[in-house]
Structures are given as structure tokens and as C-alpha cells.
Amino acid sequence: MSDTQQRVERRFHGVGVSPGIARGTVFVLRPEDEEAPSRRIEDWEVPGEVARFEAALLQTREQIVEMQNRIAGAIGAKDASIFDAHLLVVEDRTLIDEVLRTLDRDQYNIEYIFQQVANRYAKTLSEIDDPYLRERALDINDVCRRVVRNLMGKDPRSASQIDVPHILVAHNLTPSDTAQLNRKLVLGFATDVGSRTSHTAIMARSLNIPAVVALHNVSDSLLSGDHVLLDGYSGLLIVNPSDQTLWEYGELEVKKTEVEDKLEALRETVSTTLDGRHITLSANIELPSDIDLVKQSGAEGIGLYRTEFFYINKNELPNEEEQYENYLAVAKEIPDQSVIIRTLDLGGDKFMSALQLPSELNPFLGWRAIRFCLERVDVFKTQLRAILRASALGNIRMMFPMISGVDELRRANAVLEECRQELREKGIPFNEHMEVGAMIEVPSAALVADLLAKEVDFFSIGTNDLIQYTIAVDRINERIAHLYEPTHPAIIRLIKMIVNAAHAHNLWVGVCGEMAGEIALTPLLVGLGVDELSTGAALVPRVKRAVQSLDIGVCLQLVDEVKNMESAEAILEKCEAIAKAHYPELMV
């Protein structure tokens, strides 16, 4: 390649999955040859190979748990829980037993046997027309490579070994690859494949690393040492950026810095529209330690306290006292603000080591959340008593996840009343008037929201699942991720139906899914009548600025214009136009 060709600016268009701008030299991470060598063994060697295999599985499990704990401590248990699926692979008796049978029958060295069996296992799953099983095939491939490296005595392949600042480019990065990135040296990363809702994208956002995915063959088009500019906002990777491009992006960075400084000044202000309507702006948390970020953000409380943290990757179930102390500690940190605790939402993509939940072909439609709790009443009541005891402080509310109908909600309320009675009999204080809500994240719940409203004190719309279940799209499946559309006409109609049902029964209604943090959709949600928005703490200032820049008339007019539109894309354009007109500095 000539110097002239090297200096020509080239642009690769992909999907921006983690915001930010990065400039630097490329390091291309190419797949290394990890084919396990094959060697015939004798009968007497089999026990030794079994011992090596068991040791490698144990070592792999320790590596995954260590990585999971590190990620949980740094960015939260929700993101660390991505690795629960990896732990399941290491402990998968079907896979392990097949490896041992094949070893005994074919008598080759264990790394060769394991790689052949695991690859065959993953290939079978990847060809099944089920998104969960295809995702599990990726987990198997990731864990398989790690086990084989341990058997062969190799150090784990890791981009963290690169000791100079760089922009990482690869065909793909697994969640474990991403988790091990050195944030001081990895300025950003770009991959050939991926989607906004993939595990790797989620990890990038949590680690605050600019990232672009779905760049097709970019890893084959670049060489280590190439100079690039990575735009995680618009999904661009620019090779050999011209002086003009560098100047333009320099100006953009200055503007974004100015915006961030202005947002910081909003912390003590309230999220009220120009014409005086107050929208409660809350934050979501996963760990008690997240409360510091909530206070720094200027949020008005906690709109979603995910409690899976107490259960995931634990060898023993958390007891009532442990949970009570944690709930109370969070509530005491913000005694004048509301703390909404969501009861246990296990299953689907969240697993619990202590209970050994059975694997399911379609776990997102299976034994999860409130369904699990209503069958494991012992686990459920332990948590409910802990929440009730903490409610004595006066600022705690509680809500049930994945409610699908009235009968389910009544059963959950009945168990709650049993717990109240148990505490009354023991003379243990609690708030007799603690508000209890239902999460609306299943289409059936939205359709009977008027009936559910008679049984609770508030609704909280979990838009992530509501969209996923309504449109029948797995948002972590990159082949159909483009179908995950928050502005789909069906979603807008369901949200309006939920809000109307709540208000007709004098209930307030919030949104605690990703839609709450999408400032392009803030005018739509305000116009639909939502009373509360709860988002990640980092997004609170941006949403607050958006709310403060709007007036109800404009938002109502937007809803009126889009209510009969047929295209999600056209509706989104309308929303973005309003957002750009009222807070253009946030939409750059």
C-alpha cells in the first residue's frame, strides 16, 4: 500500500453501541490457532486425563467467578450476571458426561476430546431456530476456548496484555474478552459483528468504553498501527481521518464537554416542564453501593431497586436479616425520597446458583419472576418479610415483576398479607400502608390494566420486556435486533392504555425500562401521560434537561400526530424532531 493510499480517509459505517469519541492507533486482535493437538493414549492414561479435565474445569470456574466478582464490584451485579451462563456451561453434566464417555471410548488426549465434543454440541445448538439456544452456543464456544487453554497450559487470550493505548478491532469480542479490557489503555473498540443489545455492547456501556459494532469486514481491512477515529455516537470508524475531520470532531468534543458541564449544574433542580408539570425523575440501582451515584445524579429517589444481586452466583440463599439490613441501609441514605424495591426477578437470563433452576428451552416464557416466587413461597416470603420490616422507615414501596393477570396479582398480594400477619403476631413493626405496585411488562397485563389497577397502588412499565414480548423479538439476537422498536405503534398504544387505566383509578404510572433514558422519546412519554421516569443514574441529568425544555402542549400534539401512524421509523423521526427543536445540544 502506497503512502498516498494510506493517507486517504476511509469510513466504515456500523452501529454505535457505546457513546464517546476515541482517536488512536489500531490493534487488530486476530483469532489465534487454538486447535487442540490429537494424541492417542493408553488405558492406563485415562484416569490421569480425567483428573486433568476436572482440574481444568475447576480452574475455568475460578477464572469466571473471579472475573464476575471483579465486574460486579466495578460496574454492578446486573452486568456481571452475564457470566452466569458461562458457569452453567462449566457445570453442564450433559456436556461433561459426553466428554468422559468419548474419552473412554476413543482414547485421545482430553483437550482434543473436549474440543471435539464441545464444538459439536455448540454447532447443534447454533442451528436450532431458538434465540436463547443460539446465545448459549456462543457461551459454549467462549468457555470451550478457556478450558482448552487451561488444559494446554496457555495464558488466557486477552487484549488486556497490550500495554500501549490503542483502539481494539476484532471480528467479535466475547463478554469475557470485553470484561478484561484495560480501561486505561483501550480507548475504544470496533467489531465486525454485534448488535446494540448484545452482551458485549452492554459491557462496553457499563465500562464506559466507546464502541461500534456491525462493521462487517473491518477487521480484515485494517492493520495494527493504522490511525483511526472511532465515533460511538453515530457508529463510524474513520481510518486516516483528514485534518478537516479531526477539526470537526475536535469541535464536537468541545461542545459535548460544555453540555456535560451545564448538566452538572442541574443536580439541585427539579424535572418540571416549562408549563409547570412535574415528572418524577428516579434512578435504577442493583447494588446498595449504587446509592452514591443516585445522590450525585440529582434523582428524586429510586424507581427500581433490582434485588437479584442477593441471589445470583450465591451458594446459599440470602436470609431475611441480610436482606432487611441492605434494604434499610439504602432507604436510610435517602430518607426523604422514595425507594421502590422490585421483588425477585430470577429466570430468563438471570440464574441462581443456590437453587439449581432447571434449564428450559424458552426461559423468557418460562418459570421466572413472579411465577417462580409463587411456587417457591418460602423464598418469596423471606424477601417480603425483609421488605416489610425495612418499610417501617416510611419511604419504601414494593412492586411485583412480570404480572400477567389478576389472579396472579391477587395470589402475590395474598402471600404479602400472610407476611404482614406473621409480623403483626410477633410484634415486629412495619408500614401498614406501604404502597404496592405491579410491573406491566407482559402484553396481557397491559390489556387488563384496568382490572389490575383495582388491586395495586401504582404501575411501573418495564418497557424492555414489554417491547420484547409484544413484538416477539429477542433483543440480544443480532439477526433480528433491528426489529426491536420502542416506537412501534403497538407499543405506543399499549403504554397509552396502561396510563389511561392507571389514571382512571387515581394511580400514578412510571416507566423504568430503557425507554425512560432515551431523550429522543422523552416528549412521547410525557405526552402519553407518564408520571415518573426511572433510568440509570448517569442518564438522569440528560433526561432532566429534556423535561425542563418541553411543555405539555407540544408533547400532547406529538402524541396526537403519531397515534394513527403506521411506521415505527416515521414515529421516531417525529420524536427526534421535537427533541432537536427543544434541546439540540443533547441530540448532537
Single-letter code of the amino acid located at 334: I
CA–CA separation, 381 and 378 (whole Å): 5
Catalytic residue among 86, 144, 166, 199: 199
Closest by CA to 539, choosing from 332, 346, 296, 375, is 296
| 199 noted as active-site residue | yes
Q: What is the dihedral of CA 492, 493, 495, 497, to 10 degrees?
A: 160
Single-letter code of the amino acid located at 378: D
| HSE (side-chain half, CA atoms, 13 Å) at 582 | 26
Separation in Å, CA 405 to CA 10, 344, 439, 506, 550: 54, 18, 11, 20, 35
339 DSSP β-pair partners: 302, 396
| 512 noted as active-site residue | yes
**In sequence order, what DSSP letters do the residues of 281-299 get, joined into one string?**
EEEEESSGGGHHHHHHHT-
Give the DSSP H/E element, type plus range, for residue 415: helix 406-426
Which residues have CB under 8 Å from 19's CB, separation 6+? 205, 210, 232, 233
Catalytic residue among 144, 419, 512, 575: 512
How would you label 400-439 residue by residue, b for 16+ Cβ within 10 Å and e otherwise? Answer: bbbbbeeebbeebeeebeebbeebeeeeeebbeebbbbbb
Strands 436-440, 211-213: pairing is unpaired
Count Cβ atoms below 10 Å from residue 269 Cβ, excluding itself: 12
Are the CB atoms for 175 and 199 separated by under 8 Å?
Answer: yes
Residues with a catalytic annotation lie at 199, 512
